[in-house]
Structure 1
Amino acid sequence: MSKKLYIETLGCAMNSRDSEHIIAELSEKENYKTTTDISEADLILINTCSVREKPVAKLFSELGIFNKKKKDGAKIGVCGCTASHLGAEIIKRAPYVNFVLGARNVSKITDVIHRERAVEVDINYDESEFAFDDFRTSPYKAFINISIGCDKSCTYCIVPKTRGEEISIPDELILREAKRSVENGAKEIFLLGQNVNNYGRRFSGEHEKVNFTELLRRLSAIDGLERIRFTSPHPFHMDDEFIDEFAKNPKICKSMHMPLQSGSTKVLKDMKRGYTKEWFLERVEKLRALCPEVSISTDIIVAFPGESNEDFLDTLDVMNRVKFDQIFSFKYSPRPETEAEHFTNVVDEDVASLRLTTIQDLNTKILDEKNSVQLGKIYRVYFEDLNSDYFVSGRSDGNMLIKAKGSDELLGQFRDVEITAIGRTILTGKIID
């Protein structure tokens, strides 16, 4: 008989892909089947995030709920980034947890489930050439890791401490995974890495030195693959070759996530981001000159230690000049084992809250202006989800979420859609082809 697996995933797309790898390994090698009913699960996993403070607090809250709901004999495991940096401390604080598996140790899942109180959190463990079994949440789109770890030293970020040094996955493995995904019905792939456009800097073995731009070219040659997306490119590595390929390659979706973090050159230096306000704006200018239709999203941290009012005004200036299509904005929160954790020039909490509100209000105003001209426009949409209200939804080339009346026969299909109604998070249209 098969066993039941319940898994909850917190955080980023890389965590989601790690969860898919875990499911694949447990399904193929341990005969587990996933369930959405925690009370019937034989194994309960939470795949954690530690980028911000709240997900860490949520971990122990969720673990308490899991322990109350689990059936007798069910095991609980903690995976992911919080597992990496807390390690055995998790079992000390929640003794009913059976094992802890770090973000760099996903391939060990079929081992740790058989070892009571196992703690595997080696951030130097190399999984770059491990061939995971295949599992995907959606048959229409494939998430593919192209690197593991991060070599940057941003003073606010815990990721290098939880995912280790950056190692690129050999391009032949990436191409093989992409081809297999297309053969199984996916028409779009989504490349994942902490800094995807730093791809090729380091491999663990002897491999052809391929950079990210060349990897994009090779993936584009796959028959049946129609769209390529990726996240997140680092502004520092957005060289002319990369921007040129992005603009001219028809298979690359014209949606770019450019993490700004701050519009102040001084704050960027304190963050150790490696670029200036002027560099960021110049890259945006070149990108839009070659690809006017590009949509640009970003991340912004407000109230980083030492951020003055003038620094904050620089961020508002960048927002007004770039007019991002989407932002992910946060108040700075200190993370353990980071350099900024020890910075003493902390911004007042009330000031931080006001700055975050100001950022979000400006973003809403910009989005309303952009949306005001959407009525009647036509977009090519790749439908991926069936909604409960007799609509199907999908995304345009520029990453707009669009829904239209339709059935599951449209899933995995491209259609032209004319926009008939506007919302801040989703557009509604009618299929015209």
Structure 2
Amino acid sequence: MNVRDTEHMIAELGKHQSYETTQNMEDADLIVINTCSVREKPVAKLFSELGNYNKKKKDGAKIGVTGCTASHLGGDIIKRAPYVDFVVGARNISKISQAVEKKGTVEIDINNDETTYEFADFRQSSYRCSVNISLGCDKSCTFCIVPATRGDEISIPTEIIIKEIEKSVKNGAKEVFLLGQNVNNYGKNFSDKRDKSTFTKLLQDISKIDGLERIRFTSPHPLHMDDEFLQEFASNPKICKQIHVPLQAGNDKVLKEMRRGYTKKWFLNRCEKIRNMVPNVRISTDIIVAFPGETDEEFRDTIDVVEKVKFESIFNFKYSPRPHTPAENMPNQIEDKVATKRLQEVIDLHKSHQDEHMEKYLGTTMKVMFEDLKPNGEIFGFSDNYCQVFVTGSEELLGKIVDVKITKANRTSLKGEVVS
């Protein structure tokens, strides 16, 4: 979502102020730092980065801070770093052009509604478009700062989503990446109070777009993975067979204290059903270890889920206290050495599963959409189920979906040969 927000800002600044991007910071007339605040480390890093940019920027260059950290710190950013010219929160991206013009601007309204705003067009990839389908979040997970930085969940009207994808396909995109905090909760709330819809219906509508070959999405919520949604995921040939199912924790007591809304049994049932319906599926997840009060025994439930599901990819973290969240003030915060030990156990177990998963692709043929050239003469892209695949090739393969026979596998990527 931050990547897409950045694309929106580049597009708006290009349209309204004729800004262009540069790879050389010393040439920049404007430096924008788009921030995340899901974990503590990026927030701490912000101010050191700001100081560095302020020292190196050319005279007269402006500095702005945007994104989730901008939302929750607001004007305090300018108080701590007076050389910052403006602050624009994650729900106020459409105001970036005006903010650049007025020093001291702070736009951080988390209730601002941008669901019907048509941003100017900019995409970093010629072959894939990222499209927001909703803004904000209607959940109240006790560890998560997102509702305090991105506001309540509102779905973007279907016709606006379809129009944006059709325009991107006309300009060469073959794949769409649908974005939202909980994409499969789509259609519950529209700002114009239209009738409710569903994510499954949206997927069906998007599938009808001529020229669009692949559909990806992130992140669905385990709570809303009903059978209708899973059936559409399994049977729709345009939907890529990779799915992110964020676990967070495997113990029912911890899940309840996190306010996740599902149980270990429900999560395992959904993953088992996905595996049975889609044999070549790749499942990724998020895991937080050492949530306040989590005992060693409760942590074993997380390990048990990892053992049973054997995720292809895991984004795992030690619990990080965040402002504006109930968990920040919970008793029994876990000491870092315990958290580090648990995290390492998850990492080590997952590595063994990764090796097992990747080796099974040796000798198989996969359809790969090639996206980028490497300096060493290789070109890479992604299979339908989101394996990164490298081949020796030239730019003539860019944007094409071709058959590749896999000849080598390592933990994070595959190598192969184009099947002519």
**TM-score when normalising by structure 2:** 0.99
Task: Give distance in 2, aligned partners of 1:143 and 1:391.
Answer: 25
Cα RMSD of the aligned pairs, angstroms, is: 0.8
Task: Give distance in 2, aligned partners of 1:153 and 1:93.
Answer: 30
Task: Give distance in 2, aligned partners of 1:381 and 1:52.
Answer: 33
Task: Give distance in 1, aligned partners of 2:258 and 2:288.
Answer: 10
Task: Give distance in 2, aligned partners of 1:210 and 1:188.
Answer: 23
User: Pick from 361, 375, 381: which aligns with 1:394?
Assistant: 381
Task: Give distance in 2, aligned partners of 1:357 and 1:160.
Answer: 29
Report 1:115-126 matches (<5 A): 115-126=102-113
Show the counterpart of 2:125: 138
Show the counterpart of 1:9: none
Task: Give distance in 1, aligned partners of 2:321 and 2:162.
Answer: 38
- Alignment coverage as a number of residue pairs: 420
The question of 1:275 aligning with 2:295 is answered no
Task: Give distance in 2, aligned partners of 1:422 and 1:340.
Answer: 41
Task: Give distance in 2, aligned partners of 1:431 and 1:23.
Answer: 36
SS at match of 1:34: coil
Show the counterpart of 1:219: 206
Task: Give distance in 2, aligned partners of 1:244 and 1:258.
Answer: 16
AA of the residue aligned to 2:95: K
Once the two structures are superposed, what CA deviation does each residue of 1:202-246 show, in whole Å capped at 9, x if it has no partner?
000043432100000000000100000000000000001100000
Once the two structures are superposed, what CA deviation does each residue of 1:232-267 show, in whole Å capped at 9, x if it has no partner?
000000001100000000000000000000011111
Show the counterpart of 1:4: none
Gap runs ≥5 in structure 1? 1-13
Report 1:251-270 matches (<5 A): 251-270=238-257
SS at match of 1:347: coil
Task: Give distance in 1, aligned partners of 2:242 and 2:236.
Answer: 13
Task: Give distance in 1, aligned partners of 2:224 and 2:230.
Answer: 10
User: Pick from 36, 39, 46: which aligns with 2:26?
Assistant: 39
CA contact (8 A) 1:299 1:327 kept: yes
Task: Give distance in 2, aligned partners of 1:31 and 1:171.
Answer: 30
Residue 350 of structure 1 deviates from its aligned partner by 1.1
SS at match of 2:101: coil
- % same residue: 61
Task: Give distance in 2, aligned partners of 1:371 and 1:103.
Answer: 37
Show the counterpart of 2:137: 150
Task: Give distance in 2, aligned partners of 1:395 and 1:208.
Answer: 37
User: Pick from 315, 340, 343: which aligns with 2:330?
Assistant: 343
Show the counterpart of 1:385: 372
Show the counterpart of 1:8: none
Report 1:192-341 matches (<5 A): 192-341=179-328
Once the two structures are superposed, what CA deviation does each residue of 1:124-160 show, in whole Å capped at 9, x if it has no partner?
1000100001000011000000000001000000000
Show the counterpart of 1:90: 77
CA contact (8 A) 2:219 2:245 kept: yes
**TM-score when normalising by structure 1:** 0.96
Task: Give distance in 2, aligned partners of 1:199 and 1:370.
Answer: 32
User: Pick from 386, 406, 410: which aligns with 1:419?
Assistant: 406
CA contact (8 A) 1:254 1:295 kept: yes
SS at match of 1:95: coil
Task: Give distance in 2, aligned partners of 1:185 and 1:220.
Answer: 16
Show the counterpart of 2:99: 112
Once the two structures are superposed, what CA deviation does each residue of 1:184-211 show, in whole Å capped at 9, x if it has no partner?
0000000000000000010000434321
CA contact (8 A) 2:177 2:215 kept: yes
CA contact (8 A) 1:170 1:207 kept: no
Show the counterpart of 1:160: 147
SS at match of 2:20: strand
CA contact (8 A) 2:354 2:412 kept: no
Task: Give distance in 2, aligned partners of 1:153 and 1:187.
Answer: 35
Show the counterpart of 2:3: 16
Task: Give distance in 1, aligned partners of 2:195 and 2:188.
Answer: 11
Residue 179 of structure 1 deviates from its aligned partner by 0.4
